[in-house]
Amino acid sequence: MVIHSKHRSAGMAEEQFTAGRTRVGWVGTGVMGFAMCERVQTAGYQITVYARTPSKIRGLCEKGAVLVDSPMAVGERRDVIFTMVNDPSDVREVVLGTKGILSGVAPGSGTVLVDMTSNQPSLAREIYEEARAKGCESVDAPVSGADKGAKDGTLAIMAGGRAETVAKLDPLFRVMGSTTYLGPPGSGQSCKIANHIATAASLRGLSEGLVFADKVGLDVSKYLSAVSRGVMGSKVMGLFGGRVIERDFAPGGFANYMLKDLGMALQGSEEMGVSLPETALHHQLYMSMKANGDGFLGCHVLITAIERLSNHSLPSPPLSTHNCNYKPCTSFSDFLPGGGIDRALFLKVGT
């Protein structure tokens, strides 16, 4: 059974969460998490937030969000709690740790935990069982759509868990994007891993095509415009093609996150006996980017790995006078809200 959030089954009668009444907790306010949380707040939901760096969420607090000092505090007296953190170890800590969300949730409260991090399916199932044992619910709902999708509310949300619980979350999910129900706990995470298997292949194809086109003397902008009208046209090309040509590698999703997800894919494939030769190659390419210090740039920085292998780089665009706010990246925290870099003006010049 597949349920799209904008076409909810009438047979699912559990009362939905609604703005003005539902109390929302949020843990994880990085590039994606901040934009998603901000959309939920703007839709009229009361927000309680935990952030490791409180200064990064000043804008949310100025609009009425309540800042607390631990994930456990978020768990107290919240109806729905979203997590959008870095990796499985962070998810385990903020949900199942001694000061984690479940430690603060009252037994039998019916609180719903929604993990939107790209996570291990096995951990999603573990969290589901722990939540159920405490009289709560859990849904794994990773997303795809990068920073633009998070800001515009056009994310693809891949949900696993009880269908009734996913339907109950529909009003909140619709604020962030469009949801597909995949099946039991862990199904959303499995879908996200498969999504990144395909995304990495598309990014490598985009990168190799651009390097080849430039090497043979084509105008890469015209090349991109031409092929985008054919079978090669895709969301990956539309979202990242122009950024690659402009050497704009500010992250919508970090290269390190792609590396993590491809690693989970390879681990799962070994356990299941599934051959993923291209995924193994992509994992190594992203590993090379991490080794070269590019792990906290966007996942489309993959082109730099192809350029190094080819000893040929796309030309760097000139810094024009309107880029007066440009400053070089010093760490991934520069890209978080309040970090000082204008996302639209950041350029990584050269390779």
Just list the catalytic residues: 192
- Calpha distance 40→79 (Å, rounded): 14
d(CA 188, CA 322): 42
What six digits make up the tokens of 213? 């086109």
Q: What is the CA radius of gyration of the chain?
A: 21
Q: Which of 344, 297, 303 is nearest to 206 (CA)?
A: 303
* Helices and strands, counts by H and E, the chain: 15, 9
Amino acid at 157: I
What torsion do the CA atoms of 333, 93, 101, 152 make, to the nearest 10 degrees?
A: 40
SS3 186: coil
Those residues with Cβ within 8 angstroms of residue 332's Cβ, 6 or more apart along the chain or in another chain? 251, 254, 296
Contact 171, 165 (CB under 8 A): no
